[in-house]
Structure 1
Amino acid sequence: MREEAPRTVTAICRALEEQIGHGLLAPGSKLPAERKLSELFDTTRITLREALGQLEAQGLIYREERRGWFVSPPRVAYNPLVRSHFHAMVGEQGRVPATDVLSARLQPASADICDVLGLPALSRVIQIRRARRIDGRLVLYVEHYLNPAYFPGILDFDLTRSLTELYASEYGIHYGRVRFDMVPTALQPEAAAALRVAAGSPALRITRINRDQHGRIIDCDLEFWRHDAIHVQVEVPEG
């Protein structure tokens, strides 16, 4: 029985890959319950879950807590060299963006945030926590940390909109130089809860440290993307 399991896992993966590849299982559609899939492939739930886990790691399917398994939609292209923002990037690719504000407040800055933003000890920082959607699906959890000296009264604005546009229209601040750090990671509980997935699920963490047109560090973003939601695509010009 144990010797058969790897072959069964491979067979299940191939069958579901073919169904997805031919469009029989459409992007965003829900897979049958694990019990029904186990019966279909005449295997145990343990073997089935191993196959589903492999497909999840490839980004072909995803699981939502208490809802089941779904076929992953196409990824959006993310080019860190292009001056854009979430709503514009997603909209330009024919998808529908949306933002949920989870919290927004002035709070004591951690030592790490003081260091990143160049704040003195025991400073306060504006923290904005948001969850972002593509075509209704939660794909991104982000924590924004803003130097309050540059953004007085920002908590009174509609924070579901683009901060890039808000900075420009209300404060005359435009992004200048930006530093990106990207690393694969596992979702910590707060980010996982916001995205409605299990803690420890794979993700791409993008840290952005942003300067304005005058070279001042104005904010930093900690982004946690579902690993199957984006692909990083960069084209470097000649010279």
Structure 2
Amino acid sequence: MNDVPTTVATLCRTLAARIASGEFSADGKLPSERALSEQFATTRITLQEALGQLEAQGVIYRQMRRGWFISPPRLVYNPLQRSHFHAMAQQQGRDAHTEVIDTATLKLCDSLSRRLELPPGTEAYRIRRLRYIDGRAVLYCEHYLNPTYFAGILDADLTQSLTALYAERYGIHYGRVRFDMLPTLLPQEAATMLKVAYGSPSLFITRVNRDQHDRVIDCDLEYWRYDALHIDVEAVANDEG
């Protein structure tokens, strides 16, 4: 390049502009750090700082042992809408699929017992799944189910929507739901499954679901890649404020 960036800020702007112009490969993979260092006549340390800043902005993401990639558009997620993962992706023109990691019957820890409104040590079903958008793993999820309502569910096809499975097989429909959302760092298991570095930033969502009879039926623990999700909520004003 003739116009060689000399600072991290300039390097960030130049890389972002090249990404926006579609200059890089069709699969979204950036050249290696060594190649980029040579192109910009800069040190690996300066380049890595610039790449880190672009990653923090959600422009690019790093996949362990594969390099840097351009981030695809974020999935828009409105918690007030009860659309399930696959339908939500399809509505936005995205391709979604789900992989089951494993299933188990285990005793609940105290925090999960409280969320499911069950005595400590009660056994529950756990389903661990990895969810993909356009071929990229974006969500690691642990589902904890009250087995009273879902006999035999662990033998079902759990790659499909649990929302649909609940309705079709058990006549259970979602009612009230409680969400807790906070930024956090990925635990080891989630990071490994999402193929990112341990301790990478994520959005952690805890969701406790009730059915049409107001019974707590399950609790979901969701770890989202922070660059994969856009929370978009529109609230309707009331007359009391």
Identify whether the pair has TM-score above 0.5, normalized to the shorter chain.
yes
Task: Give 1:126 shift.
Answer: 0.5
- The secondary structure found in structure 2 opposite 1:102 is strand
Matched AA of 1:160: T
Q: Partner of 2:182 in structure 1?
A: 183
- Bigger shift: 23-32 or 130-139? 23-32
Which residue in the other structure is 1:112 paired with? 111
- Take 2:27 and 2:208, find their aligned partners in 1: how far apart are those partners? 33
1:97-176 → structure 2 map (5 Å cutoff): 97-176=96-175
- Are the counterparts in 1 of residues 6 and 42 from structure 2 also a CA contact under 8 Å? no
- C-alpha RMSD of matched pairs (Å): 1.4
Q: 1:26 to 1:172 in 2, by over 3 A?
A: farther
Secondary structure, aligned partner of 1:121: coil
- Given the two structures, how large is their TM-score scaled by the length of structure 1? 0.95
Does 1:43 pair with 2:19? no
Q: What is the alpha-carbon distance in structure 1 between the residues aligned to residue 32 and residue 87 of structure 2? A: 36
1:76 aligns with 75
8 Å CA contact 1:28–1:73 kept in 2: the answer is: no
- Is the CA contact (8 Å cut-off) linking 1:182 and 1:205 kept in structure 2? yes
* Deviations, residues 132-173 of structure 1 (Å, cap 9, x unaligned): 000100100000000111100000100000000000000000
Distance in 2 separating the partners of 1:146 and 1:225: 20
Match of 2:31 in 1: 32
- Residue 121 of structure 2: SS of its match in structure 1? coil
CA separation of 1:26 and 1:75: change in aligned 2, threshold 3 A: farther
- Give the counterpart letter for 1:80 in structure 2: P
Identity of aligned residues (%): 61
Q: Residue type matched to 1:215 in 2?
A: D
CA distance in 1: counterparts of 2:141 and 2:87, whole angstroms: 17
Change (3 A) 1:210 1:184: same
SS of residue matched to 1:50:
helix
Task: Find the residue that maps to 1:168 and give its secondary structure.
Answer: helix
Residue deviations 1:168-217 (CA, integer Å, cap 9, x gap):
00000000000011111110100000101101111111110100000001
- Determine if contact 1:26/1:71 at 8 Å carries over to the other structure: no
Hey, which bits of structure 1, 4+ residues long, moved more than 4 A? Answer: none
* Structure 1 spans left out of the alignment, 5+ residues: 1-5
C-alpha distance in structure 2 between counterparts of 1:168 and 1:26, whole Å: 43
Equivalent position of 1:3 in the other structure: none
Partner of 2:225: 226
1:93-132 deviation line (CA, Å, top 9, x unaligned): 0000000000111111111111110111221110000000
Q: When the two structures are aligned, how many residues end up with a matched partner?
A: 234
Which amino acid in the other structure matches residue 119 of structure 1? Answer: L
Question: Does the 8 Å CA contact 2:144/2:218 hold for their aligned counterparts?
Answer: yes
Look up the SS of the partner of 2:7 in the other structure. Answer: helix
**Distance across 2 between alignment mates of 1:137 and 1:66:** 15
